[in-house]
Amino acid sequence: MTDFAADFAALVREVVPAVDAVAAERLEAELRRRYGGDRVLILERRPVTVEQINDRLRARVPVAAMVDDLGVSRATIYRMLGTGRRKKSQGRGA
């Protein structure tokens, strides 16, 4: 897991050379104060494709298992399925 506060402060120092170390430390401390104490974590997600979801559906994997496996919400899965089906149907009618 990545400590977002430290990574963000380092990124600011890298992108904005005028930011000195003291200002970057204040930024990191403020991020921790507002959003999570010692460690502010944001998990990286792998990109999920409609094909991955369709493959799992063909294999009869329950949506609840897809949520755990793919790391996305049920709403995201259903939204992606709707988008994929709309794109396919638009391609046929044109």
For residue 31, give every residue at least 6 positions away whose Cβ sits within 8 Å of its Cβ, in sequence order, or none. Answer: 4, 5, 8, 9, 40
Q: Are residues 31 and 62 in the same domain?
A: no
Round to whole Å and give the CA distance between 77 and 84: 11
Taking the whole predicted model, whether its pTM rises above 0.85 is answered as: no
Mean pLDDT in consecutive groups of 10 residues from the start of the chain, 94 residues: 70 79 82 68 72 94 91 89 62 53
pLDDT at 59: 96
Round to whole Å and give the CA distance between 54 and 4: 33
Q: Are residues 37 and 57 in the same domain?
A: no
Q: Domain of 35?
A: 2-42
Q: Are residues 55 and 85 in the same domain?
A: yes
pLDDT at 34: 76
- Number of domains the chain is built from: 2
**Beta-sheet strands, E only, within the chain:** 2-3, 41-42
CA-based diameter of the chain, in Å? 60
Q: Are residues 62 and 34 in the same domain?
A: no
Q: Are residues 62 and 85 in the same domain?
A: yes
Q: Are residues 76 and 58 in the same domain?
A: yes
Q: Are residues 38 and 54 in the same domain?
A: no
